[in-house]
Amino acid sequence: MQESNPRAAAVNALMRIESGVAISDALDQALKAYRLNNLDRGLATEITYGTVRMQKAIDFALDSISRIRIDSLEPRVRAILRTGAYQILYLSRVPVSAAVNEAVKLASAGKHRKAGGYVNAVLRNLARKSESIKYPDPESDPVRHVAVKHSHPEWIVKRWLHRYGLENTVRFCQINNTSPEIHVRVNTLITSPETLGAHFVEQGALAEKGRFAPDVLVLGRSFSPAADPWLDRGYYYVQNESSALVAHALAPQPGETVYDLCAAPGGKTTHLAQLMDNRGRIIAVDQTDEKVAMIEENAARLRISIIEPMVGDAAVLKLPPADRVLVDAPCSGLGVLRHRPDARWRRRERDILSLAELQRRILANAAAMVKPGGTLVYATCTTEPEENEDTVRWFLKRHPGFILSPLPQWFPPSQHVGMLSILPFIHGIDGFFICKLQNNQF
């Protein structure tokens, strides 16, 4: 067990992230290695997530004042500089002196002890010049200006500028650089939104109704479900409202047979079971034993008995036709960068086309599993048309027996029947795409 130090924990997490570990896993591993109280855990989490979100802007600022480029530094020194810079530039509640001094201590304690002097000089220089950082010109180079100032890859910014314009692209990036609200889906099998909401209020949390879904509550940003015993007792599931809309789109009925073909960790699967009043049959498919175990764990916690998890590849799996089929497809995840800020640095534009090919294989295979008159819902947590509208049009062209089917009237309004693109800067919830199809072959 390491000495309690939230900044050291954040540096530890950042080094793990740079080696390829997902941010949530990296932070979890780092927090376990240090003896942190709740306040320090919060600071370590803020520094880790904030530094990853603002990495491009931080590196631009550091490169503008340092004689050594940030990407050429030893990984630990780079992580220390980035965390110190994040506190100076974006964390106003932390005194500059504390950010600098703690970073110097961390640098001096490493194997590169001379790095302490370098870190001290760079961060103090950054603090003096932070107000005079000159970003790329917004008029002559809007892509690079937005990418640097709002810390997103240029290829993403270019796509969004083309589709949404400058103002909405900036808003989208700004939303991605904020801590997400905590949304929970009420387990209506054992409690009600009113009862659960009263419980959260007693715990000092904000508990407001979701913007659209009747079984979602918004808790704000400060409440920690991990410390709430009602989570372990199955009263709710932590799930963004956009994700919760997917099960409502499929609208399964008690007694039906339903397939969830990309089911782990089981959030949408268990929601389907709730809407079915835990009556009927749900086959929940994913590719590994580990993922299937996650589905089983969540089903047990939420006291659901109708889910039958199985290991399988949704692109080739064969099952008898069912009443309803859900394809919550693997995707680029560009709609949920608030929750997974490291994904913006891992993804490449070429990934979109390769993922679209996989999505089309899964969707085409799923079509054979839908009964005549049955329902097929296709969903992603991305905003990119190649993975969303283009894939649906491709599917409809090759499967003329399927037609677009209206989504619930209480959903956010959409320009296209049966297809909904949820955008954070318009709807205030995660970016998602939901399409409802009906097998019209009888």
Active site residues: 381
Three-state SS at 388: coil
DSSP 344-384: HHH--HHHHHHHHHHHHHHHHHHHTTEEEEEEEEEEES---
Token pair 């009862």 is at which residue?
Answer: 195
Beta bridge partners of 420: 434
Going by the DSSP 8-state scheme, the letter that residue 278 receives in this structure is T
Tell me the two tokens of residue 171.
């808003």
Please report, as a single letter, which amino acid is at residue 192: S
Taking CA 335 as the corner, what is the angle to CA 208 and CA 13, rounded to the nearest 5 degrees? 90
CB atoms inside a 10 Å sphere around CB 415: 7
Beta bridge partners of 376: 325, 437
* Structural contact between residues 77 and 62, judged by C-beta atoms closer than 8 angstroms: no
Name every residue whose Cβ is closer than 8 Å to that of residue 101 and which is 6 or more positions away in sequence.
Answer: none
Three-state SS at 415: coil
Tell me the two tokens of residue 116.
């302490």
- Helices and strands in the chain, H and E counts: 18, 12
Distance set, CA 112 to CA 105, 264, 286 (Å): 12, 43, 45
How far, in Å, CA of 20 to CA of 7, rounded? Answer: 20
Token pair 């107000």 is at which residue?
Answer: 131
